[in-house]
Structure 1
Amino acid sequence: MRLYNSMGRRVEPFVPADPGHVRMYVCGPTVYSWAHIGNARPAVVFDVLARRLRALFPRLTYARNITDVDDKIIAAAAAEGVGCDAVAARYTAAYRADLAALGVAPPDVEPRATDHIAPMIAMIDGLIGAGRAYAAEGHVLFHIPSFPAYGRLSGADPDEMLAGARVEVAPFKRDPRDFVLWKPSAPGQPGWDSPWGHGRPGWHIECSAMIRAHLGAAIDIHGGGIDLRFPHHENEIAQGTVARFWVHNGHVTVGGAKMSKSLGNVLLVRDLLAAAPGEAIRYALLTAQYRQPLDWTAATPRAARAALDRLYGALRDQPAREPRDVDIAPVLAALDDDLNTPAALAGLHALAGQIHACADPARRAELAGALRQGGALLGLLQADPQVWAQGDAAEAERIAARVADRDRARALRDWARADAIRAELAALGIEVEDTGPTSRWRVRA
């Protein structure tokens, strides 16, 4: 496998420190609101990477954190008049439900920031002792000039760092770029006792402490969205986080524009799921190579659904057999080439084409097995093809009842009624196929 390493800006062979145990950490959500499609992209991308790593190596420990103490959570709780715990619990559950609908497997470890306050305090104390941090007016700040390699990951110059840091230039800072490791908590805000007073951790120290607690002093892959490369991941490195590979996925735009509340174009996963199957949303997120921007339009989930219809259509009526001499190397090679999911999807469609063109039932069964096996690597094509073809469960129940009505009309040789029901279903985009005394149906692609 070859992966693009943001540290060095090149594609490199992926070689873990311990070939028997790969360690990967991906920055998870700050749980103060519903997840949007931009939050879903890294979850899907790194789920695919985790699937491939589990096939290539004896063991993978994949950690993805939950940030459950943060200024945004405090603001959301204050606006609702509820406790921060209630806000964090609600949106943690919603995030997990959204990802499950997208076929994202839970990580091996899902640490919560609030469960790691003691390790964070210990790490901050160690940074002070090493001369890289200092206490000032109830705060502890990392002193960036103490770390000469700062900026190596992002490549930003000092002026860009200052502009992009999004930090308040407080009078007690020794350098305007210095960032917060610990801050005081006002009455009513979450807080913990520390050597520097009652307060809470800064965002950056949370990930560094959780990585060390669950994966050790050094890891193989640290992942997240490109927006985290600076300052979050740059700050983690300064704090002592060591990773062999830094892997970042690109932005999701909407109709060519950046998602923002001011533009009113933030697409929530829960809303997308109300209009399209989770597997179609997942497929859409894999249609662009992970490092490239992905532009989402109204047509995106429809196109993904149509593509999945074609793939599931090839599996319909095919008893999947273990593929003995069917080559899924193109799918594997694509994934091993810096997780090239568009090429991997093309490999799946090539297999579907072979199924349609093959006249030998035994061979078609083997090809179907290969298509399912290749799809599993991408988290796709594991549903019953007939169930997929029938779409939404509640709507499917209503349609199945009408098809049954038609079957009864056919049994009574009431052809006029049978034809009328077929026409009614056709107007709804339902294709009925007579297979004997009973019929089957599917949503027309």
Structure 2
Amino acid sequence: MTELRLFNSLTRQLETFTPVHDGEARVYSCGPTVYNYQHIGNMRAYVFADTLGRVLSYKGYKLTHVINITDVGHLTSDADAGDDKMEKAAAAQGKSAWDIAAFYQADFEADLERLNIRKPAHPKATEYIDAMIEWGKSISDKHCYILDSGLYFDVSTVPEYGRLARAVTEDGEARIEEVDGKRNAADFAIWRKTPVGETRQMEWDSPWGKGAPGWHLECSVMSKALLGMPFDIHTGGIDHREIHHPNEIAQNQAHEGCADSGARIWMHNNFLIERSGKMSKSSGEFLRLQLLFDKGFHPLAYRLMCLQAHYRSELEFSWEGLQAAFVRLKRMVMGVSALKTRHADTQTRHAELVSASIVPNEPMVEADKWTLKQVQGDVAEVRGDVAGVRGDVAGVRGDLSSPIAATLKDFAAAIADDLNTAIAITALENIVGLKKVDVAQQLAAIAEMDAALGLNLLPLTRQDLRIRPKAAIITEAEIETALAARTEARAAKDFAKSDTIRDDLIAKGVEVMDGDPLGWDWKLDV
């Protein structure tokens, strides 16, 4: 089996993945601050983290994946400055901070489901306040000092602070809050005291006064509690590499009494770039997954768009790029649908021959049974669970034809090379397009590859991908009725009527695609 090689941001090099615990992979991903909807740039981080988890499952590891929910302590600046995001959102909306957190957590989890992201553990920061206080008490004597505003961590007390970021620059320090009395510009809050005369909705008693934990503390506490320390992999957006994750590492070093960073491998996805300025949540109609859906794009088109670029590369978002990814997804879904039809026809013919006693009444081969489960969309039951799908050629049951075996080998090599999903997708498309090979083996190979990519190709249908834009003024049933009437008119050579129907549809935002090679027939353009 090809070794899994991953880029470690801490060492700035590719490393062979060797688990801390044999046969297991333990992953922690920095989760959202649930004070608002998540924009699609935020969601790229979770597509990446899910793909990593899927690849670890594909390689045969028992996966434990944690994505925390930050429902307290995160300030309006990632650099330890400003107001608490939860308190600010609660005041703006006239709701409790707890209600704000619950609403936006539910929306985040709905987005995960839309993107076919497997649901990890979702512990909330507020469930670990006591543990955070204990952590702070255990490191305060040697590593912290008290100011009027709270308990601060002295970064000079741990070795190689900032090694992950690799540089302490004036720009980097300029992002950190200036607080009178701080010993070092990079020192950060472990506990923030509620200012005199103020009352917060989320505050707790502590040895350093009533207040709330610093944002960085929760990830150290929760990762150790849920995964142990050291654990295998910590993921997050590249912006976390400069401040948040170095602060986590410092806390881990202080608590564990050694130079241990907490995770063996630190991985960071790059930014999603959007030129119009609508990535910011302060822009009003910022780019969130619901907006893509409202404009008629299936969420998995965005997942595919993310997978088309390497996770460590910047990805520029454009509506044209999303449309291209959507067309590519449609092509794959149609290709797989054709294979499922061929497979069903083969099984029907086999049953008919058995019934007529023309062929022996023999059971289907194991590969056929496995593929039928996939065709029915029951991915979770394939060999028990997704984690059972192996990342080598032997994982597909039966004797493989050489084109399938060769393409599976290419796929396995691509995803083992620091999750090179761009090449892996091409290998998947090649499998879908193979001719003159056993269709059961072909579908089984697609199931195995898609288990790692998460595009959900086997259950998806053409109808699933036809998303009605929110602004549409005509129903799909009305469109289909009009198109049927137009087909009749064209067959009768009544081209005037055909053109009238087409023009009426265009006026209602329906683009009629005569001769569309994908066979999609029409799309709503609003």
The bucket for the TM-score relative to the shorter chain is 0.7 to 0.9
In 2, Cα distance between equivalents of 1:389 and 1:111: 33
CA-to-aligned-CA distance 1:26-79 (integer Å, 9 cap, x gap):
000001111101110011011111111112234111000000013111111111
Q: How does 1:15-54 map to 2 (within 5 A)?
A: 15-54=18-57
Structure-to-structure mapping, 1:12-411, within 5 angstroms: 12-70=15-73, 71-107=84-120, 109-129=121-141, 131-137=142-148, 139-157=150-168, 159-164=170-175, 166-167=176-177, 169-185=178-194, 186-240=198-252, 241-255=261-275, 259-260=279-280, 266-275=286-295, 276-319=297-340, 321=368, 322=371, 324=398, 325=400, 326-327=404-405, 328-354=408-434, 358=435, 360=436, 363-380=438-455, 381-388=457-464, 390-392=466-468, 395-401=475-481
> 1:254·1:265 contact (CA, 8 Å) conserved in 2?
no
- Displacement of 1:264: 7.2
Q: What SS does the aligned partner of 2:339 have?
A: coil
Any idea what SS the aligned residue of 1:50 has? helix
The Cα shift of 1:157 comes to: 2.3
Q: Are the counterparts in 2 of residues 144 and 177 from structure 1 also a CA contact under 8 Å?
A: yes
SS of the equivalent of 1:172 reads coil
How far the C-alpha of 1:262 sits from its partner, in A, is 6.9
Q: Structure 2 CA distance, aligned partners of 1:334 and 1:121?
A: 44
Give, in angstroms, the shift of residue 420 of structure 1.
4.2
Distance between the aligned counterparts of 1:345 and 1:180, measured in 2?
44
Structure 1, unmatched stretches of 5+, are 434-439
Decide which moves more: 56-65 or 373-382.
373-382
Instruction: Determine helix, strand or coil for the equivalent of 2:232.
Output: strand
Counterpart AA for 2:125: A
Question: Given the two structures, how large is their TM-score scaled by the length of structure 2?
Answer: 0.74
Residue 238 of structure 1 aligns with an amino acid whose one-letter code is A
Q: Which amino acid aligns with 1:385?
A: T
Going from structure 1 to structure 2, the CA distance change for 1:9 and 1:404 (only over 3 Å counts) comes to same
CA contact (8 A) 2:278 2:287 kept: no
Deviation at 1:216, TM superposition (A): 1.1
Q: Quick one: which amino acid aligns to residue 23 of structure 1?
A: R
Change (3 A) 1:367 1:431: farther
**C-alpha separation in 1, matches of 2:69 and 2:511:** 42
| 3-state DSSP of counterpart to 2:151 | strand
Q: What TM-score, normalized by structure 1, do the two folds share?
A: 0.87
What CA deviation, in whole Å up to 9, does each residue of 1:118-151 have, x standing for no partner?
010000001113x011222251110111113101
- Say if 1:117 and 1:147 are closer, same or farther in 2 by CA, change over 3 A: same
Cα gap change, 1:387/1:258 in structure 2, threshold over 3 Å: closer, same or farther? closer
| Cα distance per residue 1:149-180 (max 9 Å; x no partner) | 1011110126454223x22x222322232100
Partner of 2:9: 6
Unaligned 5+ residue runs, structure 2? 74-83, 253-260, 344-367, 372-395
1:338 counterpart letter in structure 2: D
Structure 2 residue identity aligned to 1:242: G
Higher relative contact order (CA 8 A, sep 6+): 2
Cα distance in 2 between the residues matched to 1:77 and 1:184: 19
Rounded to whole Å, the distance in 2 between the matches of 1:258 and 1:132 is: 41
Task: List per-residue Cα deviations over 1:228-276 (Å, max 9, x = no partner).
Answer: 0110000000001511000000000013879446777842222112221
Return closer, same or farther for 1:246/1:443 CA change in 2, 3 Å cut-off: farther
Q: Look up the equivalent residue of 2:138 and give its one-letter code.
A: G
User: In 2 relative to 1, CA 257–15 (structure 1 residues): closer, same or farther, beyond 3 Å?
Assistant: farther
Q: Partners in 2 of 1:94 and 1:389 — Cα distance?
A: 21
Judged with a 3 Å threshold, the aligned counterparts in structure 2 of structure 1 residues 256 and 248 are, in CA distance, closer, same or farther, namely: farther
Cα separation, 2, equivalents of 1:389 and 1:312: 9
Report the equivalent of 1:436: none
Aligned residues: CA RMSD: 3.1
Question: How far off is 1:379 after superposition?
Answer: 0.7
The one-letter amino acid paired with 2:128 is: H
TM-superposed CA distance for 1:318, in Å, is 1.7
8 A contact 2:241–2:268 mirrored in 1: yes
CA contact (8 A) 2:96 2:201 kept: no
2:438 aligned counterpart, secondary structure: helix
- The CA distance in 1 between the partners of 2:55 and 2:272, in whole Å, is 23
**CA shift for structure 1 position 396:** 4.3
Letter in 2 for 1:100: E
SS of the counterpart of 2:425? helix
Separation in structure 1 between the aligned mates of residue 107 and residue 330 of structure 2, nearest angstrom: 28
| Aligned mates of 1:4, 1:336 — CA distance in 2 | 11
